[in-house]
Amino acid sequence: MVAVTTLALFMMHGAIYLAMKTENRLYTKLTILAKNFTVFFVFSFVITTVYTLLYIPHLSDTIRSNPQFFIFPLVMMLAIANIPRLLNKGKYRYAFVSSSITIACLLITVAIEVFPNLLYASNDPVNSITISNAASSPKTMKILLTIALIGTPL
């Protein structure tokens, strides 16, 4: 469901972007697609969210224990609700901004919820892959930093 929701999100985001950049017949087709993809995204988002809250409850533990992080899901919900309203008004730039805010808030929310775990172990949480046990040694990280500092400007 996460893959379908992500696909729907980027279909909507891309259709809104293209609607901003085109005109005439293609614009008309893209406005219809943007509205249809928005419905598809909202539908898949709701299903994925409900499934996650019901069957994977540990993913919302961090936000429940730290209410200050609730701002990200709240802003995301407001941005999602704003997209269809702006599309109906024909304000595609603002709809694109709302779509971008949705993407950013989704990424931030997921990062908050899974930190420090990168991959949860289903058999025992102790066996989960965390940032610390997945990272390379400090010496390797220093070597990579040196290579990046030299290679990036080149």
Q: Are 114 and 131 in contact (CB under 8 A)?
A: no
Between CA 100 and CA 93 the distance in angstroms is 11
Terminal CA-to-CA distance of the chain, rounded, Å?
A: 41
Name the pTM for this structure.
0.81
One digit per residue, pLDDT tens: the chain, 154 residues?
A: 999 999 999 999 999 999 999 999 999 999 999 999 999 999 999 999 999 999 887 888 888 899 999 999 999 999 999 999 999 999 999 999 999 999 999 999 999 988 888 888 878 878 888 888 888 888 999 999 999 999 999 8
> How big is the chain, counted in residues?
154
- Widest pairwise Cα distance in the chain: 58
pLDDT of residue 136: 86
- Taking CB atoms within 8 Å and a gap of at least 24, the contacts of 98-101 are 99/9, 99/12, 99/13, 99/16, 100/13, 101/75, 101/76
